[in-house]
Structure formats: structure tokens, C-alpha cells
Amino acid sequence: MKRFYKETAVDLGDGGHRILLDGRPMRTPAKAVLVVPTRALAGAIAAEWGEVPDKAEINASHLPLTRLAATGLDRVTTQRTRVIEDTAKYAGSDMLCYRATAPSSLVQQQIETWQPLLDWAAERYGARLACEHAACHGRRLRHRANNCRAITSRCISLVPSPMVVSFTSRKNFSAG
């Protein structure tokens, strides 16, 4: 599909901020009005659409915020319980929690690179994920999954969509 609109804008709508194309509310693939919780996010999505050159093909891969927001509205809100459970599964295999024992340079690099993310998740969400040197099973795995489930279920409906995309692409919960 080629660019069909001349201008983008943002306005306050029911439940949040809408993105407008030529004054009309933008819709998701499932035909829902695209409404996001903050003006900043709506502005960033409008900017994505504004950057599409005149008469150029609209390429969804160049509209990542639009894709995430539409996914949140079309899929996450209608399948919230499933998304929470699927997301919790990633906590059990969080790659940031599995550490090498050697060489020491790799051990140090993992600590310097990954520990700040784990510390952030612990502080921001109360998601304390213990590190191991081998795959973990049993109580610790269940505890990690339960933490993730609780955190995800507290999020507003739109938030889990980028989390899910992040978890599935990075194979970890903490950096999501």
C-alpha cells in the first residue's frame, strides 16, 4: 500500500491518545482505533508515519512502534491470560541468569553486562532472578516464573506486547 495521507497528528481520545492521518483516527489491522496511553508514544507513532515518503510504499518493518501498539491492542488485550502465562515461561529460561564458570574474562564480562539489567528488574519490578551456572529446575524455576507472572499481570494491557516481542527475540525476561 502506498502512502495515502498528507499529514499526521495526535489528539486526546477515549482511553488515551489517538494518532490521526489526515484528521481521521488510525486503525489497527483488527479495525480498532489505535489508542496509546501517553502523548509521547502517540507522537512517536505519528512521527513514524510522517517519515514515510510521499507516494512511497508503506513498509510495516519501518513502523516498529505502530506494530507494537497494534499488537497490544489487537492481540494482548484479547488474550491477556495467555500472554501472561506465555511470558512467565521465559522467566524459567532467562539467559541472563545462566553464567559461565570460565574463562574469568567471560565471567567478568557477564557480570558487567548482565548484572545491571538484573538489578534494574529487581529494583523496578521486584523481579529478583538468581543466577546459576547450570540449568535450574524445581523451586527456583517456579519462583522465577511466578515473579514474571505477577509483574506481567500488573501491567496495563498495552505494555505486555513489547515485552512479549522482546522476550521472544532476546530469549530473556530481564532485558524485556
Provide the CATH number for the domain around residue 50. 3.30.2180.10
Q: pTM of the entire structure?
A: 0.60
| Complete DSSP assignment for the chain | -B---S-EEEEEETTEEEEEETTEE-B-TTS-B-EES-HHHHHHHHHHHHTSPTTPBP-GGG-HHHHHHHHIIIIITTSHHHHHHHHHHHHTT-GGGB---S-HHHHHHHHHHHHHHHHHHHHHH------BSS---THHHHHHHHHHHHHHHHS-TTTHHHHHHHHHHHT-STT-
155 or 43, which is more confident: 43
- Bigger pLDDT: 152 or 166? 152
Tell me how many domains the chain contains.
Answer: 2
Mean confidence (pLDDT) of the chain: 79
Q: Which domain holds residue 95?
A: 80-170
- Asked if residue 72 and residue 39 are part of one domain, the reply reads yes
Are 67 and 93 found together in one domain?
no
The pLDDT confidence band at residue 24, using thresholds 50, 70 and 90, is very high
Residue 41 located in a structural domain = yes
Would residue 115 count as lying in a domain? Answer: yes
Q: What is the pLDDT of residues 66-114, one digit of tens each?
A: 998 998 888 877 787 887 777 777 666 666 777 788 899 998 998 999 8
Q: Do 114 and 131 have their domain in common?
A: yes
